[in-house]
Structure 1
Amino acid sequence: MEQPHIPVHKEGLPFIGLFAFTSLIFALVGCSAMALLALASTFFATYFFRDPSRIVPDKQGGIISPADGKVIRIEEVDDNRFLNQKVQKISIFMNVFNVHVNRLPVRGTIEAVHLQPGRFYAADKDKAVLHNEYCAMIVQSEGNVRYCVVQIAGLIARRIVCFARPGDTLESGQRYGLIRFGSRVDLYLPETSEITVKVGQKVKAGETILGSIG
């Protein structure tokens, strides 16, 4: 069970504080329109950076969704960038109204973390996979099964945050990072994995089971 925590991610506190302070200043100088705009921005930042607790399913080998959002693609691909093998790939698109905290799909040890600078095309487009900025994290789970989870920046997203480091061992559903303001997470799984979600299905990080890793 996760320990109680502040339901707003620490990455959002500077934004919330700045907007709140700006609203106060405008109110003090009598600029009500700008004060209301800054106050609305404060509420939006608080909503965007929300970090609710989740009850992680206790399923042996279960693949927990790494992100809130909608499944936009499930396909078999020859991955020559991360795992160098044929994999099953699941793509989850997050809009600005989704929770943007990312969680580990399957318990394991972080083998490598690679941040690649790039462009900021719309995250639901195919070219985003090849050209957008991303952070790829390769994980080795039980039985020497390896998988990769990739945070991809989007049209508005300009910062990818990954707190995990090589050598860290994380539990299924444990928080490891987030992406600011609309983005995408791709999950590269062994070809033998069983996928139970469908394209178009809405999922929740740390709660929805995507399938079983194989």
Structure 2
Amino acid sequence: MTIHKEGYSFLIWTFLMLILLIIFSFFLFSKLLYSFIFMFLIIIFYSFLIFFFRNPKIDLQKINKEENVVISPADGKIIELKKVFEKEFLNKNCICVSIFMSLFDVHVNRYPVSGKVIYSKYHPGKYMVAWLSKSSLKNEHTTIVVNTKENKKILFRQIAGFLARRIVLYAKNNFFVKKGEEFGFIKFGSRIDIFIPENSIIKVKKGERVTGGITKISIIR
């Protein structure tokens, strides 16, 4: 377990500001006990920030042994599992699997399949709560499409939530990527939608918790 690179500068600046707040509290509060209580709360808050930016290690070699398996691109809970018509790029019926990431989930986003990135686009938008269906296209989001070795196109989206104010995207067009590698990060609550071929075998169900880079979402046929 390590700290994700997206957290380095944020944690450093936050640490400096919190140190100043602790020093200021000794002048603000008349009783020393109140200052220690305030300092204790600051430590809990900062510990949570470190916890949020955690980055678990996964075995890329192991998860890439099964080429036709789509893995979860993020930690979280399956909130939707339905057939939809994807009209931004694929222009066909798909199965959409939506994963909601709470503040307590790992927010690293990983490629669900291996292949070539053939589409990558950022869309500005609103910041509605991420579990609403309409947030998929109305909120700030990105769209990425990977074409697998079997010529199966898998589309997935990072979707900002009410608290998420920054989507980080690493995906670049025409780059070859491996399943489980990082393609982005979303800060403070968000959602991932993944669009799978309609004839795929789905391995998860609504309400189930999944782990990014580990849980099998589907098998492509």
**TM-score of the superposed pair, with normalisation by structure 1:** 0.91
Residue pair 1:147, 1:188 contacting (<8 A) in 2 also: yes
Match of 1:160 in 2: 167
- Separation in 2, partners of 1:174, 1:210: 16
Counterpart selection for 1:19 from 8, 14, 33: 14
User: CA shift at 1:35, angstroms?
Assistant: 4.2
Match of 1:76 in 2: 83
What secondary structure, in the 3-state scheme, does the structure 2 residue paired with 1:143 have? coil
User: CA shift at 1:42, angstroms?
Assistant: 2.0
- Separation in 2, partners of 1:60, 1:173: 12
What secondary structure, in the 3-state scheme, does the structure 2 residue paired with 1:113 have? strand
Please show how residues 176-195 of structure 1 align to structure 2 within 5 Å: 176-195=183-202
Match of 2:49 in 1: 45
Change (3 A) 1:149 1:79: same
Residue pair 1:24, 1:35 contacting (<8 A) in 2 also: no
User: CA shift at 1:37, angstroms?
Assistant: 4.3
Match of 1:3 in 2: none
Change (3 A) 1:17 1:36: farther
- Separation in 2, partners of 1:157, 1:26: 25
Match of 2:120 in 1: 113
Residue pair 2:67, 2:114 contacting (<8 A) in 1 also: no
Match of 1:89 in 2: 96
User: CA shift at 1:36, angstroms?
Assistant: 4.1
- Separation in 1, partners of 2:20, 2:95: 52
Cα RMSD for the two superposed structures: 1.6
Amino acid at match of 1:53: K
Structure 2 residue runs of 5 or longer lacking an equivalent are: 28-34
Residue pair 1:8, 1:49 contacting (<8 A) in 2 also: yes
User: CA shift at 1:15, angstroms?
Assistant: 1.8
- Separation in 1, partners of 2:47, 2:217: 32
What secondary structure, in the 3-state scheme, does the structure 1 residue paired with 2:191 have? strand
Residues 133-142 or 21-30, more deviating: 21-30
Percent of pairs with identical residues: 36
Structure 1 residue runs of 5 or longer lacking an equivalent are: 1-5
Residues 26-35 or 81-90, more deviating: 26-35
Amino acid at match of 2:125: G
Question: How many residues were matched structurally?
Answer: 209
What secondary structure, in the 3-state scheme, does the structure 1 residue paired with 2:10 have? helix
Match of 1:102 in 2: 109
User: CA shift at 1:145, angstroms?
Assistant: 1.0
**TM-score of the superposed pair, with normalisation by structure 2:** 0.89
Match of 2:2 in 1: 7
Amino acid at match of 2:54: R
Structure with bigger gyration radius = 2
User: CA shift at 1:196, angstroms?
Assistant: 1.2
